[in-house]
Amino acid sequence: MTGDEETITQVLNRLRRAQGQLAGVITMIEAGRGCKDVVTQLAAVSRALDRAGFKIVATGMRQCLTGNDDNNQEPLTEAELEKLFLALA
């Protein structure tokens, strides 16, 4: 992923948060915690991952459309962009 330093930091922070939350879910299951608590925490993990994904798509959209990034990749087609969005839905 390419982008400005602030955006990359935000994405990494969200992913680290999700990683910590997922570790918490594993610990909760191992400790025999109740279903409600586990599902609530698991939903928080899912939201954190979704937010990171949406941030990546939102900040990379211009690069995806124009192909202007540091990797000199070809622009994505409309079908490829649609597939990216649907992957997060």
pLDDT digits 0-9 by tens, 31-77: 999 999 999 999 999 999 988 888 888 777 766 666 666 666 677 77
Per-residue pLDDT at 42: 94
The domain in which residue 72 lies consists of 5-88
Residues 6+ apart with CB under 8 A from 67: 73, 74, 75, 76
Residue 16 pLDDT greater than 70, yes or no:
yes
CATH code of residue 16: 1.20.58.1000
This prediction's pTM: 0.70
- Which residue bears the tokens 């948060």? 17
Give the total number of structural domains in the chain.
1
Residue 81 has pLDDT above 90, yes or no: no
pLDDT at position 1 over 70: no
pLDDT confidence of residue 84: 80
